[in-house]
Amino acid sequence: MFITKKSLPRRTMLRGLGTAISLPLLDAMIPSLTAAEATPAADANLRRIGYIYTPMGFNPAEWTPRGDRLDNLPSSLSPLQSMQDQLCVLSGMDLQNAYPGSHATSNAAFLSAAQAKLTESSDYYLGTTADQIAAKHFGHETQLPSLELAMDLLSTVGQCDNGYACVYQNNLSWSSPTTPLPSEAHPRIVFEQLFGEGGTPAQRVAALRRRSSLLDSVTLEIKRLQQRLGSSDRNKIDQYVESIREVERRIEHAVQTTADNPLPDLDRPVGVPAAYADHARLMFDLQLLAFQGDITRIVTFQLAREASTRTYPEIGVPEPHHPVTHHGGNPEKLAKIAKINQFHVSLFAEFLEKMDSISEGNGTLLDHSLYLYGSGMGDSDAHDHKDLPILVAGGAAGNMRGGRHIRYETPEPLSNLHLTLLNKVGVPLEKFADSTGHVNALFDV
């Protein structure tokens, strides 16, 4: 195969005043790849992995599919009906190392499958999480090794849950057993992290204030670049740049409007959208831009924190989330849990649809990505860690066979799923935490 080196490099960036804009994968970049990278097999590789955490378990009656297919999803998963061919639901997975059952260990064990040291002090100890194992393997290939996101301001310290330090409840990602990675909940800070070019946070904010838009300083560079590209690539850049600009507009609008809010949510940073769904959509869209521009290939996102007292009056659940989950078998509370589950899933479904609409290589952005969505808690009333709500989406480029409900009659370690997904994105790992094997049923092998 003859591979020319005269086309656009994959790491091409548009630079302006305090700005560095990565570009999506363009047709003009393909010939610049090496012969090994340009083979059909390599083009089909999975490139990214993401993890979405939702707290305090689920209502299994309204989550668990009735059969082996996803033709008629139950209410909590119904927003994913149009995406059923791109996902698998897994039942019967557990986290033995999350016991004794607690909110802190549910969050801590979800990506580590490790047992948290019982401590209220700074001598905490857990394990390296799956996302950070991936970051150590291929995070150096991108601008950011990984991206850690949340919806809540996780600033509590000390003891948060049954003798466990708050650090376990606040952080999904750990780069080592003693190094938790804080998540960011403010869209504007994440935006500057993705597209700002160095400097302290104060310097980046000052640079942003000197211009009406981050994109203004690269407008001329965009025009120059487009003169060298074909119509298909010009359209891709136009769509990508417009997506960046739209996210920027929404962030600026949130900053302006929340300043007038007399009753701020103490768990929500100042300057984020007042509505939960608007905030979540912004955070999902920032993930989309990060993946599309190959700024990072590894993301974690905490949709809400364990023991969250957030209310959801917009869906008919004005009571705080945490008390509702202590349902005691009460049908009304179980119905409200199902509504919250459905609401969170609906936002994830919107994100998957957007990923699936963006062409990349021989497929879509979603085809070349894997997402694990779920919770470290099963029955929230019992605080157990068995039969967890787990689903996997995307992965067509890695031969994931969607549209299926995979059921385990005996408990299957969640660590087996982590090991399988890490292997599929190219991390040559033989064992992860307490894994006993692979979840081969997910993929054509």
Which residues does 127 contact at the CB level (< 8 Å), separation at least 6? 112, 113, 114, 115, 174, 177, 433
> Where is pLDDT greater, at 5 or 278?
278
Nearest to 172 by CA among 151, 193, 143: 151
Identify whether the C-beta of residue 378 lies closer than 8 Å to the C-beta of residue 325.
no
pLDDT at 263 over 50: no
Same domain, 293 and 371: yes
Same domain, 100 and 173: yes
pLDDT at 343 over 70: yes
pLDDT computed for residue 204 by the predictor: 56
Peptide bond into 201 cis (omega under 30): no
> Would strands 164-165 and 173-176 be described as parallel, antiparallel, or unpaired?
unpaired
| Averaged pLDDT of the chain | 87
Structural domain including 296 reads: 47-185+272-442
Cα(108)–Cα(102) distance, integer angstroms: 10
- Is 135 part of a structural domain of the chain? yes
Same domain, 384 and 341: yes
pLDDT band at 210 (very low <50, low <70, confident <90, very high): low
267, 289, 305 - which closes a domain: 267
pLDDT in tens, 417-437: 999 999 999 999 999 999 999
Nearest to 254 by CA among 284, 278, 281, 280: 278
Question: Rg of the chain over CA atoms, in angstroms?
Answer: 22
250, 267, 284 - which closes a domain: 267
What CATH number corresponds to the domain at position 355? 3.40.720.10
pLDDT band at 25 (very low <50, low <70, confident <90, very high): confident
Same domain, 297 and 437: yes
> Would strands 363-364 and 164-165 be described as parallel, antiparallel, or unpaired?
unpaired
pLDDT at 46 over 50: yes
- Is 196 part of a structural domain of the chain? no
pLDDT in tens, 269-284: 556 888 999 999 999 9
> Where is pLDDT greater, at 111 or 226?
111
pLDDT in tens, 111-143: 999 999 999 989 999 999 999 999 999 999 999
Structural domain total, the chain = 2
Same domain, 155 and 220: no
Same domain, 117 and 153: yes
pLDDT computed for residue 233 by the predictor: 87
Cα(192)–Cα(209) distance, integer angstroms: 12
Same domain, 38 and 61: no
267, 282, 308 - which closes a domain: 267
pLDDT band at 351 (very low <50, low <70, confident <90, very high): very high
- Is 191 part of a structural domain of the chain? no
Which residues does 56 contact at the CB level (< 8 Å), separation at least 6? 103, 106, 306, 307, 308, 321, 322, 325, 375, 377, 380
Three-class secondary structure of residue 436 per DSSP? coil
- Is 203 part of a structural domain of the chain? no
Same domain, 18 and 94: no
Same domain, 99 and 247: no
Same domain, 94 and 140: yes
- Is 2 part of a structural domain of the chain? yes
Three-class secondary structure of residue 225 per DSSP? helix
Which residues does 360 contact at the CB level (< 8 Å), separation at least 6? 24, 25, 292, 367, 368
pLDDT in tens, 138-164: 999 999 999 999 998 766 555 577 789
- Is 199 part of a structural domain of the chain? no
Write down the pTM of the prediction.
Answer: 0.87
- Is 198 part of a structural domain of the chain? no
pLDDT computed for residue 141 by the predictor: 93
Same domain, 62 and 113: yes
pLDDT in tens, 56-107: 999 999 999 999 999 999 999 999 999 999 999 999 999 999 998 899 999 9
Same domain, 291 and 245: no
- Is 427 part of a structural domain of the chain? yes
Cα(388)–Cα(378) distance, integer angstroms: 5
pLDDT in tens, 298-334: 999 999 999 999 999 999 999 999 999 999 999 999 9
Bridge partner list, 360: 363
